[in-house]
């Protein structure tokens, strides 16, 4: 019975500490979002989550859906799933990896074929367009474009 009591005590305290850190993170996030600090500073201070990046992509696609399929299927797939990089300010460090990955990835509809040169160019255009939108909304700086 002593071990079980110790186990419950440990779990309650661990979850309590986890809850405190989560509340502290949410409080800092609320404070930063209520200030008029540049968003790229907010991204640097707070590591963005996959859901936050996807929400930014949805906002972008609501305004400009010309590159929707390439952005969803290739660009976000590479950065969020393959590289697990959730901060768009760090995406420019994976430029050469992204180009090599585009050379090796297969098409969505036809798994036997790799991407055409036009699709690769459209993926880079989608990424640059997304960078431009992020820059206009003060999330990243101008130098981050590929």
**Over pLDDT 70: what percentage of the chain?**
64
Q: Are residues 67 and 120 in the same domain?
A: yes
Cβ atoms of 90 and 79 closer than 8 Å: no
**Over pLDDT 90: what percentage of the chain?**
15
3-class SS string, 85-131: CCCHHHHHHHHHHHHHHHHHCECCCCCCCECCHHHHHHHHHHHHHHH
Full domain range(s) for residue 102: 47-144
Predicted TM-score (pTM) above 0.75: no
The 10s digit of each residue's pLDDT in 14-66 is 666 566 566 566 766 666 666 655 554 545 444 677 888 888 888 888 888 88
Q: Are residues 75 and 118 in the same domain?
A: yes
Q: Are residues 68 and 27 in the same domain?
A: no
Residue 41 domain flag: no
């Amino acid at each position: 019975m002593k071990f079980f009591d110790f186990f419950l005590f440990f779990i309650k305290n661990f979850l309590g500490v986890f809850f405190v850190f989560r509340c502290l993170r949410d409080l800092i996030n609320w404070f930063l979002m209520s200030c008029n600090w540049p968003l790229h500073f907010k991204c640097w201070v707070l590591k963005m989550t996959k859901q936050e990046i996807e929400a930014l992509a949805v906002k972008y696609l609501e305004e400009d859906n010309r590159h929707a399929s390439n952005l969803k299927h290739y660009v976000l797939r590479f950065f969020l799933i393959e590289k697990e990089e959730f901060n768009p300010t760090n995406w420019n460090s994976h430029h050469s990896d992204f180009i090599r990955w585009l050379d090796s990835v297969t098409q969505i509809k036809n798994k036997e074929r790799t991407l055409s040169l036009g699709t690769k160019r459209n993926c880079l255009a989608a990424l640059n367009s997304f960078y431009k939108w992020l820059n206009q909304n003060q999330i990243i700086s101008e130098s981050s474009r590929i």
